[in-house]
């Protein structure tokens, strides 16, 4: 049961967490390219894992898996994505683009633009992107994106874009290690969001930016990504497989690689890693 006061949900866990009305979501997504077919699970280990399984079984592009809660939500670099029930959006979008597996980063960056544009509607100030896959509001992470793929020989067969968006989780409910570095739409706006609305907007925004990627190429995405970037002109440190690279961010290239100027005149392409912005 839900009750609302001035557009804000009040009192009690189920109310506080906002609803996830999947029937309404399914009917609102009818006819869309992204989300024309949805799978909703109250509990799943990982929506990405399930979406990859559906891909192996032949599911078509635009299939989206949502869950209320994940028991082993997958983060980058084998981390666990905190996925409590009743609060957030966990979504995995299945794609079958005709691209090279090496170009998958471009889709991750496209998804980042789609999320940043969508949440900028709720938070007009402070939304930013950190390469390759984090969406921030001010200094805190609100969304993580994990792209996984299935190949057939050397060709890409399917891509799964997993999006974990912190929607109604309260700051005190983050795991202690993330309390200083994570945020949610609720923390930033003081509002509770019906999650099916957020899920619908997410599918719409992704559909828009994915279409731009397919029709106009990555150049258009890169421009928008850089306009949201929190890194351009900043010194960053990138850690990948035990190796550290530092430098000034001068852009991203057409493969989605981060371009780092080592301040001795050499610009390096970074294709993977965990980037942190250096203070000062």
Binding of residue 75 to ligand BTN (CB under 6 A): yes
- Which region among 23-31, 142-150, 237-245, 268-276 touches ligand BTN (by CB under 6 A)? 142-150
- β-strands 235-240, 127-130: how paired? unpaired
CB of 191 to ligand BTN, least distance (A): 22
CB of 253 to ligand BTN, least distance (A): 22
Sheet with 235-240, edge to edge strand ranges: 267-270, 258-261, 243-252, 235-240, 274-277
Binding of residue 81 to ligand BTN (CB under 6 A): yes
Handedness of CA 86, 59, 28, 225 (dihedral sign): positive
3-state secondary structure of 259: strand
CB of 12 to ligand BTN, least distance (A): 26
Nearest to 256 by CA among 105, 140, 136: 105
Residue from 56, 79, 191, 211 binding ligand BTN (CB under 6 A): 79
Residue from 144, 194, 256, 273 binding ligand BTN (CB under 6 A): 144
Binding of residue 18 to ligand BTN (CB under 6 A): no
Nearest residue relative to ligand BTN (C-beta): 144
Binding of residue 164 to ligand BTN (CB under 6 A): yes
* Total chain residues near ligand BTN (CB under 6 A): 21
How far is residue 73's CA from residue 135's CA, in Å, rounded to a whole number? Answer: 17
Structure tokens at 251: 């852009």
CB of 72 to ligand BTN, least distance (A): 7
- β-strands 89-95, 235-240: how paired? unpaired
Count Cα neighbours of 51 within 13 Å in the Cβ-side half-sphere.
36
Binding of residue 35 to ligand BTN (CB under 6 A): no
CB nearer to ligand BTN: give 53 or 216.
53
Structure tokens at 207: 């559909």
Nearest to 146 by CA among 113, 194, 104: 104
Binding of residue 74 to ligand BTN (CB under 6 A): yes
CA 227 to chain centre: 17
CB nearer to ligand BTN: give 2 or 76.
76
CB of 97 to ligand BTN, least distance (A): 19
CB of 14 to ligand BTN, least distance (A): 22
DSSP structure class, residue 272: S
Non-local (6+) Cβ contacts of 273 within 8 A are 238, 239, 240, 245
**Start-to-end CA span in the chain (Å):** 50
Binding of residue 184 to ligand BTN (CB under 6 A): no
Window 36-55: residues binding ligand BTN (CB under 6 A): 46-48
Binding residues for ligand BTN, rule: CB under 6 A, are 46-48, 70, 73-76, 79, 81, 90-92, 133-134, 144-146, 162-164
């Amino acid at each position: 049961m839900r009750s609302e006061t001035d557009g804000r949900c009040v009192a009690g866990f189920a109310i506080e967490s906002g609803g996830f009305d999947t029937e309404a979501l399914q009917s609102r997504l009818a006819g869309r390219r992204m989300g024309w077919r949805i799978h909703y699970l109250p509990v799943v280990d990982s929506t990405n894992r399930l979406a990859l399984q559906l891909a192996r079984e032949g599911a078509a592009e635009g299939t989206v898996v949502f869950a209320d809660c994940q028991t082993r939500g997958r983060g980058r670099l084998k981390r666990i994505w905190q996925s409590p029930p009743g609060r957030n959006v966990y979504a995995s979008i299945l794609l079958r683009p005709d691209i090279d597996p090496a170009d998958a980063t471009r889709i991750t960056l496209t998804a980042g633009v789609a999320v940043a544009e969508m949440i900028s509607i709720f938070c007009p100030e402070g939304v930013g992107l950190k390469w390759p896959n984090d969406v921030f509001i001010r200094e805190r992470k609100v969304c993580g994106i994990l792209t996984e793929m299935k190949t057939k020989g050397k060709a890409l067969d399917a891509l799964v874009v997993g999006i974990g968006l912190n929607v109604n989780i309260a700051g005190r409910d983050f795991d202690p290690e993330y309390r200083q570095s994570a945020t949610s739409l609720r923390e930033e706006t003081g509002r509770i969001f019906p999650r099916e609305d957020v899920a619908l907007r997410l599918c719409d925004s992704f559909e828009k930016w994915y279409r731009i990627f397919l029709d106009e190429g990555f150049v258009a995405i890169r421009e928008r990504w850089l306009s949201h970037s929190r890194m351009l002109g900043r010194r960053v440190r990138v850690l990948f497989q035990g190796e550290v690279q530092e430098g000034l961010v001068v852009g991203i290239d057409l493969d989605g690689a981060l371009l780092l100027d080592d301040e001795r005149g050499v610009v390096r392409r970074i294709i993977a890693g965990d980037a942190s912005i250096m203070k000062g």
